[in-house]
Amino acid sequence: MKKIILLLTFALFIYANSENNTTSAMKILKSVPKNSPQYSLDYLYAQKIKTMSYQKDKFNLQNIKNSTDFLNAFEKLASFEKTIINSQANLNALDKKINYLSSKTKPTQKLEYLYYKRLILINQNKINYLKEKIPKWKKELYGKIFKIFFNINIAKSNIKYFQTKIIIADKNIEKLNIDIEKWKLVNNQKNILFLKNGIKNIIQNKKQNYHFLAKNYLILFLHDIKYKDKGAFKIEHLILKYIKLYNKQYNVPYKIILNYFEKSRFGNIQLFINKTSDEVKLFFVKTWDILNDPLFKIAKKNISLINFFIFTFILIFGGFIGKYYKKSISKLENKYNINNSTITIITNIGYYLILIISFLIALKSMGLDLGSFTLIAGALSIGVGFGLQNIVSNFVSGLIIMFEKSIKIGDFMQIDNDTKGSVVDIRMRSITIRTNDNIDLIVPNQNFIQNTVTNWTLNDKSRRFRVPFGVSYGTSVEDVEKVILGALKLSTIPHYKIGDKKPLIVFIGLGNSSIDFELFVWVRDDLTLRPKRTTSEFLKMIYKALNEANITMPFPQRDLYIKEMPSQNQKNIN
């Protein structure tokens, strides 16, 4: 009862509004002189406003006797659904025109304003009517399925026929495109235009064939609905595919009606299950298509996103294997008592071999012919010439160092007067040296190959230190030797005391204020790696021994001689 009252109220409102519009239109028309150039147009607007009204859409489902009638009714129902879907966009377009004309004062513009206002009322009336009727029409049309015979054999035959026609049309379009290119060479615009019109006609015919395919697939769909065959869910996709190719605007209306039939026949649960599975399949199909779309080409081979992912995965996996290999090899050092330097060489070479093999496998996984990478090798050689020579030089230098074993982990190296330290890592590009200040220096490998460097512990970790000192003139050289060597024997500083490496005092020169000596003393192990501290220990020992022996250690002295003292008169003058 409430709905009826609301409809009557709305109808009365529209009627009253239409009467007002008609009255207003006639008043505006009277204000226009009949001899005015605009009078004819204004008169047509006024008459149109007066006669415009919504005639209810008729949809007689009683006359459906066969499958052809059913298909026509289905298309008409889809057109009603399309009207509802597009209604808001149409109303918005009319609103824009009304907003523009609302402030205009010319008679023609006022009549246009009333015309569009009347159109809005008619469209609203139509939309309300269709919204009320379409659910009933869908239900009634669905009931007709069980009274109609759908000849699926003819439908299947028609599908093959129209698919063949589409294939032939595609070939004809390709032939015409080739002919167009031919006429472009001679710049024959007349023939080009003729061929382009031919292509347009073929495309138009193709659209009609898509429409016929959709209709015949719809017959298969309705047959499956009638006999409750779940194959209808698959056929729905084909119907929507060809409807979209025929006319995109009908895609959603068709889908709404098809889903209604499926829901009515199979129920909400079955519809949800099939729709969900279809959406999941569609998602994976689309994702797979995206992943397989070519991004770029290498050696005439299309490289897709999935190829790139596989390539990256193999490289990362190879990196993990390389790291695991490093950890496994490092455990052998303690187990088999292998030299640390040898372990480092085996580790680094194996690690880089694993990376290279992984890279080659990754390339092969993309379907690339490794033989074609001679081009890449050529490009790399150009790159070396323009800026990669340092990288390649360091790499080759690293290989030389590893196999030559001139530098090992733990060696104490001196690069220049101010830079020295222990080797803590040897890599393919660089060597890490840790100074006594615990600072890590990354030195490129080529520096060790091209320049002279000092390896204090290459073959022997012992080293001879030269500790200079001096004593005053007049001191007995023999006493100095006896005191220092005696102190060394009692010293706790680790050093060689016998053999070829026993300590030695060398008289090296006569200085300005001292006689100069050097203590030659051999030390080993960690003392060689701390030259300043080691020298300091021996100097402290020498200083203490000389003091205890009352041997004077000189210091620089200068004598000042005054040739002539200034006289008293010169002092006064100054």
- What one-character-per-residue DSSP string does 73-130 give? HHHHHHHHHHHHHHHHHHHHHHHHHHHHHTT--SHHHHHHHHHHHHHHHHHHHHHHHH
Q: Check: CB of residue 228 under 8 Å from CB of residue 266.
A: yes
* CA nearest neighbour of 173 among 207, 208, 198, 210: 198
Where do the domains of the chain lie? 2-147, 152-292, 371-459, 463-548
**Residue type, position 239, single letter:** I
Q: Classify residue 370 by its DSSP letter.
A: G
**DSSP string covering 307-322, please?**
HHHHHHHHHHHHHHHH
Class of domain 463-548: alpha beta
371-459 with 463-548: one CATH topology?
no
* CA nearest neighbour of 45 among 117, 94, 124, 120: 117
Instruction: Provide the CA 185 distance to its chain's centre, in angstroms.
Output: 43
- How do the pLDDT tens digits run along the chain, 574 residues long? 444 444 444 444 444 444 455 667 777 777 777 777 777 887 887 887 877 777 888 888 888 889 999 999 999 999 999 988 888 888 888 888 888 888 888 888 888 888 888 888 888 888 888 889 999 999 999 999 999 999 999 999 999 999 999 999 999 999 999 989 888 888 888 888 998 999 999 999 999 999 999 999 999 999 999 998 888 888 999 999 999 999 989 999 999 999 999 888 888 877 777 666 555 555 565 666 666 666 666 656 677 777 778 888 888 888 888 888 878 877 776 666 666 666 776 777 778 788 888 888 887 777 666 555 555 556 556 555 555 667 777 777 777 777 767 777 777 887 777 777 888 887 777 888 888 778 888 888 777 777 777 777 777 777 888 889 988 888 888 888 888 888 888 888 888 877 778 888 888 888 888 888 998 988 877 777 788 888 898 899 989 888 888 888 877 666 667 766 666 655 555 5
In this predicted structure, what is the pLDDT of residue 13? 42
Cα-based distances in Å from 178 to 33, 185, 191, 509, 560: 62, 11, 12, 101, 112
Residue 190 burial (CB < 10 Å; 0-12/13-18/19+)?
exposed
Residue 74 burial (CB < 10 Å; 0-12/13-18/19+)?
buried
Topology of domain 371-459, CATH: SH3 type barrels. (2.30.30)
CA distance 100 to 215: 44
| Residue reference for tokens 């982990």 | 409
In this predicted structure, what is the pLDDT of residue 5? 43
In this predicted structure, what is the pLDDT of residue 156? 94
- The token duo for 3 is 């709905």
CA distance 209 to 206: 5
The SS3 of residue 57 is coil
**Do β-strands 504-510 and 515-523 pair in parallel, antiparallel, or remain unpaired?**
antiparallel
